[in-house]
Amino acid sequence: MKPVRLMRGFVTVGGWTLGSRMVGFIRDMMIAAFLGAGPVAEAYFVASSLPNMFRRFFAEGAFNTAFVPLFAKKLESGDDPRGFAEDAMSGLAATVFLVSAIAMVVMPWLVLAMAAGFRGDERFQLATLYGRICFPYIFFISLTALLSGLLNAGHRFFAAAAAPILMNLVLIIAMLMADWFGWDMGLAMSWSMPVAGIAQLAMVWIAAAKMGFPLRLRRPRLTPDIRRLLIIAGPAVLAGGVVQVNLLVGRQVASFFDGAIGWLTYADRLYQLPLGVFGIAIGIVLLPDISRRLKAGDDLGGRHAYNRATEFALFLTVPAAIALIVIATPLISVLFGRGDFGAADITPTALVLAIYGIGLPAFVMQKVLQPLYFAREDTRTPFRYAVHAMVVNAIAAIGLAPLIGFSAAALGTTIAGWTMAGQLWWGSRSMGAATQFDDRLKRRAPRILISALIMGAALIGMTAFLGDSLHLPGKRYLALAVLIAGGIAVYAAAILLTGAFTVTELKATVRRKR
């Protein structure tokens, strides 16, 4: 089959995701400064998480899991891919519209399902109001997710990867306008979500039209292809529900500790940077690529893609995880420590970030391993694994909360992440030679780990050397930049000294066509 620029796809999606996350940092720094971890912030976090939860459930996490492999195979064979895409989009739109209408009515109960600790205080009324404003976002972003999957299957990564930047920009503008004109900050932030959804949908629809797929909504039809889609999506929908239950467990535990939802949210935003840039980018590029290779019978190419994705993930994720653990406090202090986000918020947020850092490699490896199942139209096995991980998460988060407090929510998430990754890897061993590690990966993986540990030791030493500079208002930004740059330099040197990569190989990895 035609070779695909796999690593270039990783870099393209990862680069735009990095841009989105950097703009997202500005957004989160502004939220922290304006609202801190107070009741308005917590109410907004819960309200805005509701449409995002359903988005992952219906679109990104479940529907697209089934849609992308089927569409990629139709695109490869030329079997009316546009008709299939329009039928899928129409069915998704009708479903999401109905869910949105119901959710607007039962919003108070949805808020309690997310954060029972809000009952009886001002956060409950605020979250209910904000939730009703935010929820229509799910309609626009679900269609955006489907069109993004279509673009990714056609190896058009730009618009789908860049669209999330619009969400962050709209929210930033809303906060600036609210501060300038004296508007209610929580309401301004809530209204920005549906506005951003419209902007994102317009962007990817135009890109899909340029690709030759100007999709139109029509009356939903239960065609044989859609029946096949639903059969495959069914377990994925259930698996998506399991993932959301994990999130619900964490938020429920956190809602009983004042400020904890804010602490977990700010830490989550930071660890989502490497997860989004590396893990999600790999998953987005790898799923359609492996699906098309299976359709073409290219098992050797599929194995190569899987191993290079794993290599790429380890190369970038392991050092990122160690950095989140080792310099969690300086990161939180410099990025969020201003305005209403004071010293009392920095330490607990840094603790959560370090716990998330321990789980980061597991979450990224899930993004590498899941396409092996989804490309084979196997969504049942990941569902079983997700149920097991959900039980582990609930036991850890609820069981440990009386002992270690709010951080049990983060620890449960991390333990469940490693449980899920371990199961996915073990299950992939039965898929034959196409999913086995090659000699190149076996040689490089331990050297990557050694290099990352050397970097971690260097970061500890540099943190001690910089000392108070990391906390002084006039010096902390420069000090953090020096710390991060120093860590990157040490890691790069260690990579070359251990022989994990050569300079030529690093350049070739980015340029590689397959």
Enumerate the H helices of 256-342 as residue ranges: 260-274, 281-296, 299-326, 328-336
Q: What per-residue confidence (pLDDT) applies to 460? A: 94
> Which two structure tokens, joined as six digits, stand for 431?
């898929």
Contact assessment for residue 400 and residue 413, using Cβ atoms and an 8 Å cutoff = no
Query: For the chain, what is the total number of helices (H) and then of strands (E)?
Result: 20, 0
Q: Where are the beta strands (DSSP E) in 339-448?
A: none
Q: Is 503 exposed, middle or buried (0-12, 13-18, 19+ CB in 10 A)?
A: exposed
CA triple 145-149-153, angle to 5 deg:
170
Mean pLDDT of residues grouped by 10 in the chain (514 residues)? Answer: 50 64 80 82 86 64 68 79 88 88 91 82 90 91 86 76 84 93 92 93 91 87 82 66 67 81 84 72 65 68 79 88 93 82 86 93 86 78 87 91 90 92 89 80 92 95 87 82 93 90 62 44
pLDDT for residue 71 = 82
Cα distance between residue 351 and residue 338, in whole Å: 18
Question: What was the pLDDT predicted at 278?
Answer: 67
Answer whether 282's CB lies under 8 Å from 309's CB. yes
SS3 377: coil
**Phi, psi at 4, each rounded to 5°:** -115, 140
Q: Where are the beta strands (DSSP E) in 309-430?
A: none
Query: Taking the CA of residue 63 as centre, how many other CA atoms within 13 Å lie in the half-sphere pointing to its CB?
Result: 28
Q: How many CB atoms lie within 10 A of CB 438?
A: 15
Give the distance between the most distant pair of CA atoms in the chain. 66
pLDDT computed for residue 3 by the predictor: 42
Q: Note the pLDDT of residue 513.
A: 40
Yes or no: say if 270 and 335 are a contact pair by the CB < 8 Å rule.
Answer: yes
The pLDDT assigned to 288 comes to 65
What tokens were used for 334? Answer: 């410099």
How far from 44 is each of 109, 181, 289, 326, CA to CA, in Å? 16, 20, 38, 30
CA atoms of 341 and 117, how far apart (whole Å): 21
- Enter the pTM of the model: 0.69
pLDDT at 449: 94
Which tokens go with 213?
A: 């797929």
| Measured distance CA(504)–CA(313) in Å, rounded | 19
Contacts of 10 (CB under 8 A, 6+ apart): 281, 282, 285, 309, 312
